[in-house]
C-alpha cells in the first residue's frame, strides 16, 4: 500500500512539473521563472496526489473492514442454525 502512495506521489509531482512548465513556456516566461514555477508545481502536485491517495485508500480499507465484519457477523448467526440442522439430519439418519 505504501508503494502505491509513493507511486502516486511521484506521478503527481511529474504531472505538476510538466503542466506548470508547459504553461510557463506557452506564456513566454524566462527559463529561470519556468524552472522555479515548475518546481513548485512538482511539490504541490505530488502533495495533492498523495493526499487524494490517502483519502481513497483509507476509505477503501475502512469499507473493506466493515464488509468483513458484517460477513463474519452473518456467518456467526448462520452457524448455530446450520449446526442444529446438521444434528437433526444426523439423528434422523441414525434412527
pLDDT tens digits along 32-46: 999 999 999 999 999
- What CA–CA distance (Å, rounded) separates 9 from 53? 9
Closest CA to 49 of 24, 21, 14, 20: 14
Q: Please report the pLDDT score of residue 63 as a whole number.
A: 84
Largest CA distance in the chain: 95
Distance of CA 91 to the CA centre of its chain: 50
pTM: 0.62
- Asked whether the predicted pLDDT for residue 48 surpasses 60, the reply is yes
Q: Please report the pLDDT score of residue 1 as a whole number.
A: 64
Which one has a higher pLDDT value, 40 or 65? Answer: 40
Q: Please report the pLDDT score of residue 95 as a whole number.
A: 55
Amino acid at each position: 500500500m505504501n508503494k502505491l502512495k509513493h507511486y502516486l506521489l511521484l506521478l503527481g509531482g511529474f504531472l505538476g512539473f510538466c503542466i506548470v512548465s508547459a504553461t510557463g513556456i506557452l506564456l513566454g516566461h524566462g527559463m529561470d521563472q519556468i524552472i522555479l514555477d515548475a518546481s513548485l508545481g512538482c511539490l504541490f502536485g505530488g502533495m495533492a496526489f498523495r493526499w487524494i491517495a490517502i483519502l481513497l485508500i483509507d476509505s477503501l480499507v475502512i469499507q473493506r473492514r466493515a464488509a468483513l465484519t458484517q460477513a463474519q457477523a452473518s456467518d456467526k448467526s448462520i452457524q448455530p442454525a446450520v449446526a442444529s440442522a446438521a444434528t437433526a439430519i444426523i439423528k434422523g439418519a441414525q434412527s
